[in-house]
């Protein structure tokens, strides 16, 4: 299978200490893209590698000017690497693929074909993931929760292999560890997101850069994602609701004691009174925190994503 000739394709490859894989990956990608796409470029983003990755890349660049290299001074993480790749990408279609040969470059034409059916982002789905069970099980759970919370129904959010229309990558702003949520961010922006099964291989060289602790951070990131897109919820609505619950509970408790006092019953300080007062204080704290957060994030609402149909003429 080959990529349709009408499209210029950019491949973004984030890598951190993957020297053994780069030559083979370059060969596979070039063989697949050469003479099929209208043209292509391979953007390797060296995320602060300390092995021979950069010199391997410089070697490839000497032979082939379609190889572009971005080299970070230190390890900034996969999101930062992708984000820089997206910034300089020139292709109509942009592909991301891991550098460790776990993703199969020969899946790219199939993904692009699906994109051409009318999607803006097609994400790979590692149907038969070749990783240790300590990774595959937490990952299943993570994907399920992300799917339920986000409403974007995918099985595999964090597959390295994805294809995008240019508009999507130019729009995406990913940092920290947010690359795991690209389909969520894109979906909430109104882009059409789909998924397609892809094959997956075991890691042959080097080590995985991520341990199990990524999943804990993953859930914090999910909350961040909910707020930065403001699609799921706005901070003031979220914290406002929690604050209101505390305020009502605290208010009711103290109202009870107010009624007792008005009725002329003697009042003694009781633990529940203190709890009621605390709840009111906490309610005001949480509510005003939400308001502050709202003021900080409200800017993001003022830009839009849209498709142009008939503006030119």
- Binds 106: which of Mg ion, ligand UDP, none (CB < 5-8 Å by kind): none
Angle subtended at Cα 54 by Cα 51 and Cα 205, rounded to the nearest 5 degrees: 50
Told to check if 276 binds ligand UDP by CB under 6 A, we report no
Dist. CA 49–CA 126, nearest whole Å: 26
Q: Which two tokens stand for residue 169?
A: 């990558």
Kindly state whether residue 128 participates in binding ligand UDP, applying the rule CB under 6 A.
Answer: no
The contacts of residue 103 (CB under 8 Å, 6+ apart) are 97, 124, 159, 160, 161, 198, 200, 201
Which residue among 14, 91, 187, 218 contacts ligand UDP (CB under 6 A)?
A: 14
Runs of H (alpha helix) within the chain: 19-33, 53-63, 78-88, 108-116, 133-150, 166-171, 182-188, 214-229, 235-262, 271-297
Window of 27-35, 95-103, 216-224, 273-281 that interacts with ligand UDP by CB under 6 A: 95-103
Task: Kindly give, in sequence order, each residue whose CB lies less than 8 Å from that of residue 184, ignoring residues fewer than 6 positions away.
Answer: 146, 150, 152, 157, 225, 229
> What's the count of helices (H) and strands (E) in the chain, helices before strands?
10, 7
Out of Mg ion, ligand UDP, none, which partner does residue 77 contact, by CB within 5 to 8 A per kind? ligand UDP
Q: Is residue 156 near ligand UDP by the rule CB under 6 A?
A: no
Place of tokens 């660049």: 61
Query: By CB under 6 A, is residue 221 in contact with ligand UDP?
Result: no
Cα distance between residue 149 and residue 151, in whole Å: 6
Instruction: Establish if 100 lies at the interface with Mg ion (CB under 5 A).
Output: yes
15 interface partner picked from ligand UDP, Mg ion, none, CB below 5 to 8 A per type: ligand UDP
Q: Which of 7, 9, 16, 169 binds ligand UDP (CB under 6 A)?
A: 16
Q: Which residue has the tokens 């993931």?
A: 129
Residue 84 CB, nearest distance to Mg ion (Å)? 20
Which of 75, 199, 254, 288: binder of ligand UDP (CB under 6 A)? 75
Smallest separation (angstroms) from ligand UDP to the CB of 136: 10
Of 213, 156, 210, 169, which is closest to residue 16 (Cα–Cα)?
Answer: 210
Binding span for Mg ion by CB under 5 A among 30-38, 97-105, 167-175, 187-195: 97-105
Nearer to Mg ion among residue 205 and residue 278 (C-beta): 205
CB of 48 to ligand UDP, least distance (A): 8
Which 190-219 residues touch ligand UDP, going by CB under 6 A? 208-210
Residues that bind Mg ion (CB under 5 A): 98, 100, 102
């Amino acid at each position: 299978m080959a990529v349709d000739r009408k499209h210029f394709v950019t491949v973004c490859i984030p890598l951190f200490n993957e020297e053994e894989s780069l030559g083979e990956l370059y060969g596979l990608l070039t063989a697949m893209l050469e003479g099929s796409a209208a043209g292509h470029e391979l953007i390797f983003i060296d995320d602060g590698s300390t092995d021979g990755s950069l010199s391997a890349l410089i070697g490839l660049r000497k032979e082939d000017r379609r190889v572009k290299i971005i080299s970070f001074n230190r390890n900034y993480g996969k999101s930062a690497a992708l984000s820089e790749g997206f910034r300089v990408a020139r292709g109509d279609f942009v592909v991301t693929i891991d550098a460790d040969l776990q993703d199969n470059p020969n899946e790219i034409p199939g993904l692009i074909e699906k994109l051409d059916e009318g999607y803006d982002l097609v994400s790979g789905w590692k149907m038969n993931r070749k990783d240790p069970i300590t990774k595959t099980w937490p990952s299943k759970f993570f994907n399920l929760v992300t799917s339920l919370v986000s409403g974007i129904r995918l099985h595999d959010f964090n597959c390295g292999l994805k294809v995008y229309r240019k508009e999507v990558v130019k729009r995406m702003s990913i940092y920290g560890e947010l690359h795991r949520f690209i389909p969520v961010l894109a979906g909430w922006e109104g882009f059409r997101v789909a998924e397609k099964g892809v094959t997956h291989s075991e890691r042959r060289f080097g080590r995985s850069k991520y341990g199990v602790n990524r999943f804990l951070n993953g859930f914090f990131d999910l909350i961040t994602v909910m707020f930065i897109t403001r699609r799921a919820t706005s901070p003031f609505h979220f914290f406002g609701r929690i604050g209101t619950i505390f305020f009502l509970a605290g208010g009711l408790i103290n109202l009870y004691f107010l009624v007792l006092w008005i009725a002329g019953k003697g009042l003694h300080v009781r633990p529940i009174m203190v709890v009621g007062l605390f709840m009111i204080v906490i309610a005001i704290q949480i509510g005003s925190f939400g308001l502050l957060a709202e003021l900080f994030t409200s800017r993001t609402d003022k830009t839009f994503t849209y498709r142009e149909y008939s503006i030119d003429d």
